[in-house]
Structure 1
Amino acid sequence: MSAGLLAKPQMRGLLAKRLRFHIIGAFAVSLGVVALYKFGVAEPRKRAYADYYKNFDSMKEYEAMREAGVFQSVRSKGQ
């Protein structure tokens, strides 16, 4: 007497079934990563640039670089 009959393993369509499951999972994980990047990196970076350029004075930066001797073709006021 046998203790019980084992069910036959599914062979037909197994790859398609597993691929469907893994593709849906990969898509969900990739959407999560995109959302984390957008709200964790891109938005704070855009906000930081906006705050920096809100009060940016290009002429003041130019004068500071000129006084520091960054430019070779522009003499500082003391020379």
Structure 2
Amino acid sequence: MASKPVLRNLLMSETKVNFVIALTSALVVSAAYKFGVEHRRKRKIDEFFKTYDAEAAFERMQKAGVFRLYNPAKEE
């Protein structure tokens, strides 16, 4: 003869188990994102700005006509 199922406090016990599973999976996914995506992006951005020359980029954009409302003759 099978024993009766435990129904008293069933919701609370299932909620605790599900909370632990959700917390663990959230921590694993966030750690994987941090080390897999965020660190790689930061490293690429740092490498880009090591050789980036803002003045040269500004001159290129100015010659290309990006700044339509900017007139360097009025600024000086």
Q: Bin the TM-score by the shorter chain.
A: 0.7 to 0.9
Higher helix proportion: 2
Larger Rg: 1
Matching residue of 2:52: 56
In the TM superposition, structure 1's runs of 4+ consecutive aligned residues that sit over 6 Å from their partners are none
Deviations 1:37-79 (A, max 9, x none): 101211111111111111111110011101111112236xxxx
Q: CA RMSD in A?
A: 1.2
Sequence identity percentage: 35
Matching residue of 1:31: 27
Matching residue of 1:71: 67
In structure 1, runs of 5+ residues without a counterpart are none
